[in-house]
């Protein structure tokens, strides 16, 4: 699909991080952008920044975990512009789970799945039928992660499980669109290849009461800056990929019609090979052993 001025892009989780970078890139290409986010103050600021560049912007507070909220987003987008060409199901949260899996609070899983998996599914159901009925070229990008999408990081297992689900969901979506001979394509995004500075580390700031923790955390939430400082103190250098680089990668991938929006990375390739070989050999997942805690 060729991105052209006048087309319409919808981005969830658009008030900051990767979502805002994608919206900014689409706007720079002349697209009209629909920004959706659960955090109103940040959303208003993002919309104002884009409008100051001359972009045509529609902003709406949306909780992607709620089906009705996403359905209302679709109604608003089509009422405003009559068409949607690009849908980026990008909103995501970290779960805040601690300890071993059997010690996790069910609400940590419920919240992460509500946003990271159900949020994508709600986006598909709200927009894809309309995109197909419109008959114009379109594209859907679902944001996954190397953590889970490629191989799980056991210390962040809840998040990994949700992002693994996003990959399978998008593979299935791709097959269904092909079976319909649709002019709408699908891609799964693995942001990277390095760490990103996003608000994911502070996801708890937007955690709704219905998914509240039932007991206090044993340790305080750690910010990205604190984690980076701890890594440096341990003698490990942390490399970062800019969100702008990810946004450019997405725009280029849409233009090229690529399903796997997976940046080149020796680390990722090693994980893919190790996991695939373990399955082919029917052997234990030794590629996880370096993550196993004492």
User: Do residues 31 and 59 touch, judged by C-beta distance below 8 A?
Assistant: no
Element (H, E) at 43: helix 40-51
- Cis amide leading into 263 (omega within 30): no
For 177-182, which contacts have Cβ atoms below 8 Å and span 24 or more sequence positions?
Answer: 180/132, 182/132
Contacts (Cβ under 8 Å, ≥6 apart) of 255: 1, 2, 3
Contacts (Cβ under 8 Å, ≥6 apart) of 118: 64, 65, 67
Phi/psi at 37 (5° precision): -160, 155
Please count the residues of the chain.
294
Contacts (Cβ under 8 Å, ≥6 apart) of 179: none
221 is catalytic: no
Query: What is the residue-wise DSSP string for 230-261?
Result: HHHHTT----B--HHHHHHHHHHHHHHT-SEE
Active site residue: 78, 159, 221, 287, which one?
159
User: Do residues 60 and 36 touch, judged by C-beta distance below 8 A?
Assistant: yes
DSSP three-state, residue 86: strand
- Which residues are catalytically annotated? 159
């Amino acid at each position: 699909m060729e991105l052209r001025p006048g087309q319409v892009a919808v981005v969830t989780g658009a008030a900051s991080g990767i979502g805002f970078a994608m919206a900014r890139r689409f706007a720079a290409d002349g697209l009209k952008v629909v920004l959706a986010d659960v955090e109103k103050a940040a959303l208003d600021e993002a919309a104002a920044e884009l409008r100051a560049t001359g972009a045509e912007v529609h902003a709406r507070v949306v909780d992607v975990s709620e089906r009705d909220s996403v359905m209302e987003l679709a109604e608003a987008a089509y009422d405003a512009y009559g068409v949607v060409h690009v849908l980026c199901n990008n909103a995501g949260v970290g779960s805040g789970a601690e300890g071993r899996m059997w010690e996790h609070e069910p609400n940590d899983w419920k919240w992460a799945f509500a946003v990271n998996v159900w949020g994508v599914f709600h986006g598909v159901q709200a927009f894809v039928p309309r995109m197909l009925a419109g008959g114009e070229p379109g594209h859907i990008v679902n944001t996954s992660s190397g953590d889970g999408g490629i191989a799980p990081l056991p210390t962040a297992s809840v998040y990994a499980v949700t992002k693994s689900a996003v990959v399978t969901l998008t593979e299935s979506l791709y097959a269904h669109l092909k079976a319909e001979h649709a002019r709408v394509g699908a891609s799964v995004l693995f942001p990277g290849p390095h760490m990103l500075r996003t608000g994911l580390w502070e996801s708890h700031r937007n955690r709704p009461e219905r998914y509240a923790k039932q007991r206090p955390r044993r340790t305080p939430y750690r910010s990205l800056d604190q984690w980076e400082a701890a890594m440096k103190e341990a003698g490990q250098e942390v490399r970062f990929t800019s969100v702008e680089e990810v946004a450019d990668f997405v725009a280029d991938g849409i233009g090229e019609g690529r399903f796997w929006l997976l940046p080149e990375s020796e680390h990722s390739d090693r994980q893919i090979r190790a996991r695939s070989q373990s399955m082919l050999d029917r052997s234990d997942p030794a590629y996880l052993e370096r993550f196993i805690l004492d």
